[in-house]
Amino acid sequence: MKQVLENLGRKWGITSITQVVLILCVFACTGSSVLFVSDFFLDLLGFSRDMPEWQRWALKLVVMLPIYQVLLLLWAIPFGQFKFFMGYLKKMFGRMKKNPE
Q: Is residue 73 part of a domain?
A: yes
Q: Is residue 12 part of a domain?
A: yes
Q: Is residue 24 part of a domain?
A: yes
**Total structural domains in the chain?**
1
Q: How much is the mean pLDDT over the chain? A: 87
CA distance 19 to 75: 14
SS3 99: coil
* Model pTM score: 0.79
Q: Is residue 11 part of a domain?
A: yes
- Mean pLDDT computed over 8-24: 92
Q: Is residue 90 part of a domain?
A: no
Cβ distance 24 to 33 under 8 Å?
no
Other beta carbons within 10 Å of 42: 19
Q: Which residue has the higher pLDDT, 83 or 41?
A: 83
Q: Is residue 94 part of a domain?
A: no
pLDDT at 100 over 60: no
Q: Is residue 67 part of a domain?
A: yes
Q: Which residue has the higher pLDDT, 64 or 23?
A: 23
pLDDT in tens, 25-71: 999 999 999 988 888 888 888 877 788 888 888 888 888 888 899 99
Q: What are phi and psi of 41, to 5 degrees?
A: -70, -35
CA distance 11 to 3: 12
Domain carrying residue 47: 2-81
For residue 49, the number of C-alpha atoms closer than 13 Å in the C-beta half-sphere is 6
